[in-house]
Amino acid sequence: MKLPKPISAARWIAGITALCLAAACQSQPTTLVVEAVAPVETVEPVAVATELDTTEPDGPITNQWGGVIPDAKPTTPIDNGALGEIE
């Protein structure tokens, strides 16, 4: 019995796919194992924060580009990334 061409082609593609998957499983890269050794000397911190500065700066706050950061939040809704009105 001769199979129709679409079924024959599907079996051929499935066979090639299975062959490629089997070859991929056999050709995995080797695993590199590295052992980490702890330092001999104890490590001491360079500096420890003892007190946080929570005071508000006087005047306007500027960002890293020199722009003024407003204290108020936008009062109008912000749609699609647009800037809202600040009062």
pTM above threshold 0.85: no
pLDDT attached to residue 9: 83
The full 3-state SS of the chain, as one line of letters, equals CCCCHHHHHHHHHHHHHHHHHHHHHHCCCCCCCCCCCCCCCCCCCCCCCCCCCCCCCCCCEECCCCCEECCCCCCCCCCCCCCCCCC
pLDDT attached to residue 45: 78
The ranges of the chain with pLDDT < 50 are none
pLDDT attached to residue 80: 64
